[in-house]
Amino acid sequence: LGERAFGTLPSLRRLSLRHNNLSFITPGAFKGLPRLTELRLAHNGDLRYLHARTFAALGRLRRLDLAACRLFSVPERLLAELPALRELAAFDNLFRRVPGALRGLANLTHAHLERGRIEAVASSSLQGLQRLRSLSLQANHVRTVHASAFRDCGALEHLLLNDNLLAVLPADAFRGLHHLRTLNLGGNALERVARAWFADLGELELLYLDRNSIAFVEEGAFQNLSGLLALHLNSNRLTALSWAAFQPGFFLGRLFLFRNLWRCDCSLEWLRDWMESSGHMADLPCAAPGSVVGLDLSEVAFGRTLDGHCVDPEELNLTASSPGPSTELVVTTISKFSTLLYKLLAPRTSVEEVANTTEVLANTSLSSSLPSHGVGCLGCKTTILLSSCFLLSVAQHMVFGLHMDRP
């Protein structure tokens, strides 16, 4: 765009140049547009550089859209001549830090800087933004938020820091944000929730801490959030959550706790009771103890001692719950097979000897039907011997296996 690219259009209020092939804008290109309030330059992928005086003479501009222009940086004085600017959309760019051009924009209320490469929010990044109400830094590469980074943003109502790389936060990161209503810290690498973080956030309504690695919540961490409507703690590494994290006075509309590794013992009885009394379903499946694995917390029945104290559900030892055969059973089984083998291998009694017993008729009849001499009898005995040895061996192996399976 050359100088005075649009001539003189004193009544023009909105101008859109989105999805073009702009690569350079000459300083003064927008002269002659004194009443322009909205300028859209988004999706000009070749527009990688802007001169410090690109927007000179646009004193009434309220909305500026620079999204998806693949900007690496902008001059510090780029927005200095835009005193009326209220909303800046600069998402989907390649900034590695919060543009210094934002400093001192006393009337800016909305800043959209998401989906970039911003790595840190410095203590001076947002200086002088007293009227800023909404700031989106989601889906960047933010690893560090400096102490008091938001100290000049007392009017901030919505702060989105989700889907970054935050592992720690300074204790006073959100100090002074008394009007904040939405804070999104989801999708980071936080491992704990500190009590000091939310001390000044008495007006907070929505708090997102989901999709982190949180395993511990400090006592009293949520105690000042009396107006909280929804707390998202799902998809973390929590096994327990103390009532002390919410005391002294706490009112909560919705609590999201699914996709954690909850240990449903007496420390969570308060949560089960709260779920029942409030009528909210928290979708809280138990991962331990063993006797309640797979149950929802709302289905867990806690026992009581005689003096009324809660009793934790038992751990289950699945190996011990299926006892193997006793030693006596093993010995008895082997003994029975040995007796059977002895009877099969014992020498056959003659007809005369059998006749002297009380079972003369039965045994004589049996003996007379069998040959008493010759090869046929020897082969029979050999077959019986081999078969019996094989049966005894199999039986011993089976019993031994059962015995070894015992805990």
Give 301's contacts (C-beta < 8 A, 6+ positions apart): none
Q: What pLDDT, on a 0 to 100 scale, did the predictor assign at position 331?
A: 41
pLDDT, tens only, 57-86: 899 999 999 999 999 999 999 999 999 999
The string over 146-180, giving b where at least 16 C-beta atoms fall within 10 Å of a residue's C-beta and e elsewhere, is eeebbebbebbbbbbbbbbebeebbebbbbebebb
Alpha carbons 323 and 168: distance in angstroms, whole number: 50
pLDDT, tens only, 25-38: 999 999 999 999 99
Alpha carbons 43 and 45: distance in angstroms, whole number: 6
Question: Residue 337: enclosing H or E segment and its boundaries?
Answer: helix 327-345
Between residues 247 and 397, which one has the greater pLDDT?
247
Q: What pLDDT, on a 0 to 100 scale, did the predictor assign at position 341?
A: 46
- The tokens describing 85, both together, are 């600017």
pLDDT, tens only, 123-134: 999 999 999 999
- The tokens describing 347, both together, are 């020498």
Q: What pLDDT, on a 0 to 100 scale, did the predictor assign at position 247?
A: 74
Alpha carbons 78 and 58: distance in angstroms, whole number: 12
Q: What pLDDT, on a 0 to 100 scale, did the predictor assign at position 361?
A: 32
Q: What pLDDT, on a 0 to 100 scale, did the predictor assign at position 189?
A: 98
Q: What pLDDT, on a 0 to 100 scale, did the predictor assign at position 88?
A: 98
Residue 368 in this model has a pLDDT that exceeds 80: no
Residue 119 banded pLDDT, cuts 50, 70, 90: very high
Alpha carbons 236 and 239: distance in angstroms, whole number: 9
